[in-house]
Amino acid sequence: MKKWKRDHLGMVMGILNVTPDSFSDGGKYMQVEEAVARAVQMAKDGAGIIDVGGISTRPGFSEVTPEEELARIMPVIKAVRNALPDIWISVDTWRVEVAEQAVLAGADMINDQWGAKKEPKIAEVAAKFDIPICLMHNRENTHYEDFLEDVKNDLLESVAIAKAAAVPDEHIILDPGFGFVKTPAQNLEVLRRIDEIVALGYEVLLGTSRKSTIGLVLGTTPLDRMEGTGATTVYGFAKGCTITRVHDVLPIARMVRMTDAITGKLDITKL
């Protein structure tokens, strides 16, 4: 396994949905050849991570069995690993079985949209293989008493699961769950106050790409939300986020690099 040694320059995670029903790109990369071509292009465009997912997370999505999820992602992970031996591959799943099989097939990290709360033993997979795990904020209800404090406490519960499984701090990545169990106003609040999540002491991944809150603000369709995604990314990175999960890799990668230069993370005297 590759070692997760970070200089905390901005990193772009390119989205590769191997699903028929994802909200903006469903069905486009179901064939292995198409998926690999997309991964190769995203790598050329500046992605350091390819995030392979076999279950849609859009509202009202259809659940699939672990067998179907594996059937979708395993050929793609193996093929992307062969085509791009040096890139990081993330598996977007909350299932222990799927995570372990994906890592054995070539994935280097786990991206769990349930923050290790659906199947806590997924953290043990991260510990066993000594790989990073991204813990996203999610919950079964929207009954917040103190919104951001509740979000932070929820995330710290996920951190506790990871730590109990012996995942080291440097392998824990937090995702505030923009677009999940939050109103549009709450999505913007969690972004506005993202520095409070950064202050928890872990790397923070931002996943705002093409989300409906951006569409609400701009009045645009999912395929026409790159500028809104860019605005949220630049703001988040200026406040301490270090990874962004996006569809539009090239323009966002440029924005991330420029933001790193402005904030002083990128030493331009060495360019």
Residue 46 sits at the vertex; the CA angle it makes with 126 and 72, to the nearest 5 degrees, is: 50
Contacts of 55 (CB under 8 A, 6+ apart): 19, 61, 63, 64, 69, 92, 93
Q: Please name every residue paired with 90 in a beta bridge, in sequence order, or none if there are none.
A: 51, 109
Left if phi > 0, otherwise alpha if psi is -120 to 50, otherwise beta: which for 179? left
**To which residue do tokens 């002491």 refer?**
201
**Residue 251 Cα distances to 114, 115, 129, 248, angstroms:** 29, 29, 33, 6
Task: Please give the structure tokens belonging to residue 83.
Answer: 């085509």
CA separation for the pair 135, 118 (Å, rounded): 11
Is 6 annotated as catalytic?
A: no
Buried b (16+ CB within 10 A) or exposed e, 168-199: eeebbbbbbbbbbbbeeebbbebbebbebbbe
Q: Which residues pair with 110 in a beta bridge?
A: 91, 133
211 assigned to active site: yes
Tokens of 57: 């997370």
Distance, in Å, from the CA atom of 116 to the CA atom of 135, rounded to the nearest integer, reads: 7
Out of 72, 81, 211, 239, which one is annotated catalytic?
211
**Catalytic residue, candidates 117, 139, 210, 245:** 245
Q: Which residues are catalytic?
A: 211, 245
